Structure 1
C-alpha cells in the first residue's frame, strides 16, 4: 500500500486538535486530521440511537465572549456556528431540595447565592472570583507561549506581559480551600458541597486540590455566554471539518493510529490500520497516556513519563441517554446539576449532570419528545469497573422522575454507558473523561508544554495546560498551533495574526 505524505498530521479530531488544524490550514499549511471514528468531535460530539441524538460528553458551549478562545477561533477563520444563547445557564438542586438558579449576571447570581447560603462572604467571594476569571481569560490569549519550554517562549512572554498578569501568579500557589477560608466560607458546609460539585464539572477535582486560578475561572463559567448548538455538539466538529476541507486540507476518518516512529531524515511515520502516513509535523489531540503508548521511541516515552497520571488519579464516567415525552412539567432550563442524597448507587458520586435537548431542536428529537444526556463521575475507573447497567438505568429513571423531570410512564428509551463505552468510543485509556484533574501539587508551569518531543511533534487537548472544557481545549489548540508556527513557519504566524 502506498504511503500517504502530508505536511501536518493531527491525530484525533477532538476540539483541541480541530482548532489547531483550522488555524494551521488558514496559514496555508496542508493538514490531514486522522480520526478513528467516522465523525469528528471526540468528547464534544453526539451519537445516534433509536433515531435520537445524544451528546457524547460536553453538552454546553462556552468561550464566545470577548478575550475567549472559541471567539478567537471564529474571528480568525470566519466560521459561522448555529447557536442559541441560553437565558439561564444552569440550575442546581441540593440534597435538601433547595433549587439554585445560576443566573448569567453577576449581581443576580450574588443575590441568589446569598438567599441560599447566607450573606456572609458571598458578595466578596463571587466578585473576587469573577475578577480573577476575567483576568485569566484576558491573559490566556496574550500569553500563548505559556507554559514556557524555550528561551523564545520566555522572550515572547516578557514582550506581552502586563501588570495585571503578574497579580495572577500568587493565585497558582493558593487553593480554593485557602480562598474560601479568607472569605469566611469554609465552615458553611452546604456552600462547600455546592462548590465541590461545581468544580468537578470543569476542574475535575474538589476545593483542597484546585488552585484559585483554575477554580475561580471554573466557578464563573455560568457568568459568561452559554450556548446551545442545535443538532448537538457534533455540529461544532462538523463546522470545523467543513472549513478544513474548504481550505484544501482533509479529514481522514476510520483511521486508527497504531504507532508513531520518528524518522532519521525528519518528520514521522504514522502506522494506521489502513496503511502508512508520512508527516513532517504532528499535533496530537489525544490524552497524554495514549500519546505515550503510541511512540516506539524510548526517549520520547521517558520524557513524557513524569507528566502521566495513573488510573487512581483520573475520572471516568457513567452516562445515561434518556428519551421522554415533553409535558408542561418539563423544565425550561436545559442544564441541571442534581446533588444525590446518599450518592449514586455502586458509584458513590454525589451529583449527576443533566442536559436536555432544546424544545425547538427537531434535529435531535421530534416535536413533543425530549432527549436527556445524564452523566456522573467515576473515580479510579480502572478499579471501579461498573457492570450494573440495568440497575443504574432503573435508578436514573426513578431519580429523575422524583426530581420532576418526567413521569416514569413518559420514558420511551433509556441506555446507560460505563467507562468501558468511553474506551470503545474514544480509545481513551481507562475511559478517562474531562482531562486531568487539577492537583495542588502540580503548578500550571509544571503541566505539559505544547511541544511534545522538542522536534516537530506538538500536543493539545484536555490533559495538557490549559485543556479543560471546550474553552480550555480550544485554547490548547491555539497554543499548539502558535508554537508550531513560531518554531518552524514564521511566515505562517504573521499570516495568522494579520
Structure 2
C-alpha cells in the first residue's frame, strides 16, 4: 500500500459543504486535501456529459446571495465569482395543469397567489412567511455554532447579541401547518396541495412535519434572486476547488475511502485502490449512513446511533432528456408539476423540471435544450433488491407515467427527443456514493425539531461532519452554510 504525506485536514467527498469548508480552511492557512470517489467534483451539485448534452447531477436551483445568505458571504470573504444569470421568474408551478408563476417580487407573488387560491389570508400568510424567512437567514448567519456540540459552542450561542433571536422561538414550536390553520387557510384544499408539494422541494417533508422557522424560508426561496450558472452547476465546485488549489490545497479524484481508522496522531484512511492517507483532522462530507460503515473503532457506535435515529431518507428518480428547443413554456427554466394520481412505484404526486438556458450553447447543441425531471422516491432501498428485468420494468413504467404527466405542459413528439435516459437510487449510490442512494439529507419529518439535527462536531475532537445530513440540511445554500459552520468549529479548536 502506498501512503501519502501526513495532511493537516482531509475532507472525504467534494460536495458543496466539504468544498466550502475546504476553501475557507485553505484561505486560513490550513493544508487541505479533498478525496473524491468520482472523476468529477460537486456530488449532487455537478454537471456531466451524455452525448452532446450536459446534464445536472441532482440539484438544479440556485439562490443564497442575499444579505445573511451563505453564497453571498462566500463572494465577499473568499472572492467567489460565478457567471450567473438571474431568473425571471424563478419558477412556474403547474397545479392540475393550471400555471402559477412564482414571482420573485413579494407583492407580485401575493397577487398571483390571491388570484389562484382566493384572496382570503394570502397577504397575511405570505408577509409572515417572508418576515420569518428573513429572520431565519439572519439566525443561521449569526449563530453558526448551532446546534452546539461542546461548551465552546454553547458559550458562543449565549452571547447577549444573540438574545434578540428569542423572538423567533415560537416558530420553532409550531409547524407550518399550524400557522396555516391559525390563519384560516387549512380548509383551502387547492392551497394546501400547493403548499405541501412546494415544501417537498427543500424541506423534504409536508407542512405538518416542518417547523415554521424552517418552512418559511422553504416557501419563500423564490422571493430571493434565483440564478442559472452558465455551463451548469459544476461551475460552483470548480471555483471552490480553484480557491483551494490557489491556497496550497489539493483534490485527488477516483479516491473512494473504504475505511477510516483512528490513530494516535489522527486518522488513517484506506481507499479502494489500496492507497493510504494520514491526517491530523478529518471532515466527512459523506452521509451519516455511510460513516457507519467507514468508521472502525470507538466511533462506530456513534454513527450507528445517528443512523438508527434517522433511518429514513428520500431517494430520487430522474429522467434526463435532450429535446428540441421549440417550447415557449421553457422560457421559465424551473417548473413543478403537481398532479392528483401518484406515479407508479414511487407514490409521488409531483415532479420538478429544470431546463438549460437557451443561450447556454455549452449544455446542448444548437436548437436543443437539456432538461432534467426529478421526483421523490420514498423507498430507494427497493431498487437494490430487484432483478434486472423487474428493475427495467419499473423504470419503464415510471418514465411512461412522467411523460404522460408532462404532455399537458410539454407535448413532446417522437422527433423532439434526441437523448433520453434515467437514474434511480442505485445510480446515486454508484455515481455519488450515497448509501442506499439517499439524497436530500434528513427529511424534516424525521427530525421533528431542528434541535435533533446532527452537529458538525462528533465525540472525537478531531472528526467533523459537513453536508446535508447535518444542520441546516439539504440544498446548495444550506450545505454551503454547513461548510461555514464546520470551518468555524475547526479553527476554534
Distance 1:227 1:453 in 2: 38
Change in Cα spacing, 1:270 to 1:328, as seen in structure 2 (3 Å) is: closer
Q: What residue number does 1:383 align with?
A: 382
Aligned to 2:45: 44
Distance 2:446 2:3 in 1: 45
Post-superposition Cα deviations, 1:223-253, rounded to whole Å, max 9, x if no partner, equal 0110001111111111111111111100110
CA 1:157–1:369: 2 relative to 1, 3 Å: same
Who is 2:462 aligned against?
456
Instruction: State the alpha-carbon separation in 2 of the partners of residues 91 and 330 from structure 1.
Output: 9
1:361 paired with 2:367, answer: no
Task: Summarize the alignment of residues 161-172 of structure 1 with structure 2, pairs less than 5 Å apart.
Answer: 161-172=161-172
* 3-state DSSP of counterpart to 1:32: strand
Q: Does the 8 Å CA contact 1:398/1:408 hold for their aligned counterparts?
A: no
Q: Secondary structure at the match of 1:153?
A: helix
2:299 is paired with a residue of what secondary structure? helix
Per the alignment, do residues 58 and 380 of structure 1 end up closer, same or farther by CA in structure 2, a change over 3 Å counting? Answer: same
Map Cα deviations across residues 247-299 of structure 1 (whole Å, 9 max, x no partner): 110011000101001102x21001112310000011111111111210011x3
Q: Who is 2:83 aligned against?
A: 82
Residue 160 to residue 249, structure 1, CA distance change in 2 (3 Å): farther
1:328 Cα offset (Å): 5.0
- CA distance change for structure 1 residues 292 and 400 in 2, over 3 Å: closer, same or farther? same
Partner of 2:234: 234
**1-side partners of 2:46 and 2:351: how far apart?**
19
Deviation of the 1:93 alpha carbon: 0.5
Report Cα offsets for 1:60-80 as digits up to 9, x if no partner.
211111110111122111121
Contact between 1:90 and 1:335, CA under 8 Å: does it hold in 2?
yes
Distance (Å, rounded) in 2 between the aligned partners of 1:318 and 1:310: 25
Q: Could you list the runs of 5+ residues in structure 1 that have no partner in the other structure?
A: 488-498
Structure 2: 5+ residue stretches without partners: 385-390
Deviation readout 1:65-124 (Å, 9 max, x if unpaired)? 1110111122111121111111210000012x2110000011111111111111111111
What's the CA shift for 1:330? 4.4
Per mean C-alpha deviation after superposition, the further-off stretch among 430-439 and 169-178 is 169-178
The answer to whether the 8 Å contact 2:41/2:237 transfers is: yes
For residue 402 of structure 1, give the secondary structure of its aligned residue in structure 2. Answer: coil
Per-residue Cα deviation, 1:308-353 (whole angstroms, up to 9, x for no partner): 2578621101101101111153421000000134122232200000
**CA gap 1:259/1:313 in 2 versus in 1, 3 angstroms:** same
Whole-angstrom distance in 2 between the partners of 1:418 and 1:384: 7
Distance 1:87-1:48 versus aligned 2 partners, 3 A rule? same
* Alignment-derived partner of residue 319 in structure 1: 318
Counterpart residue number, 1:304: 303
Report the 3-state secondary structure (helix = DSSP H, G, I; strand = E; otherwise coil) of the residue aligned with 2:127.
helix
Question: What is the CA deviation profile of residues 375-428 of structure 1, one whole-angstrom value per residue up to 9, with x for unaligned ones?
Answer: 000002113666422333343334323323543431112111111111111111
Kept in 2: contact 1:330–1:405 (CA 8 A) = no
Cα shift at 1:441: 5.5
Hey, what's the Cα distance between the residues in 1 that align with 2:427 and 2:446?
30
- Contact 1:10–1:283 (CA under 8 A) maintained in structure 2: yes
Q: Is the 8 A contact 1:311 1:380 kept in 2?
A: no
Secondary structure in 1 aligned to 2:342?
Answer: coil
User: Which residue of structure 1 aligns with residue 113 of structure 2?
Assistant: 113
Which residue of the partner structure matches residue 286 of structure 1? Answer: 286
Distance in 1 separating the partners of 2:328 and 2:74 = 39
2:194 maps to 194
47-56 or 16-25: bigger deviation: 47-56
- 2:383–2:425 contact (8 Å) kept in structure 1: no
